[in-house]
Amino acid sequence: MLPKFHGLAGEDPHKHLKEFHVVFSTMRPQGILEDYIKMKAFPFSLDGVAKDLLYLQPVLFNTWGDMKCMFLNKFFLASRTTTIKKRICGIRQHSRETLHKSDGDV
């Protein structure tokens, strides 16, 4: 069964690609390139916003590497930004603590 990625905050695109690769490493049809199969199957592992963004791409992908790179560029940055924002919002300055000192806890 294919793993699903929805493009939601907190989802890890690297983890999704690893799980996707594990599924496809067990399937090796003779005479068909692995990259070709991955390119055809990858859209079925996406749902919601992630699937919408893939289909809204103005360029068709020629290689699995291109498709994977676009996916990571789009969703790694979004998930990383959410994580950083959560950490920043969690900063607390204690009484008698300089802002510089409290900033080091991030």
What are the residue ranges spanned by the domains of the chain? 13-103
| Summary mean pLDDT of the chain | 81
How large a percentage of the chain has pLDDT more than 70?
Answer: 83
d(CA 53, CA 46): 10
89: burial class by Cβ within 10 Å (0-12, 13-18, 19+)?
exposed
> Among candidates 12, 4, 17, 8, which has minimal Cα distance to 76?
12
| Per-residue pLDDT tens over the stretch 69-92 | 888 888 876 666 667 777 777 777
Q: pLDDT tier at 102 (50, 70, 90 boundaries)?
A: low
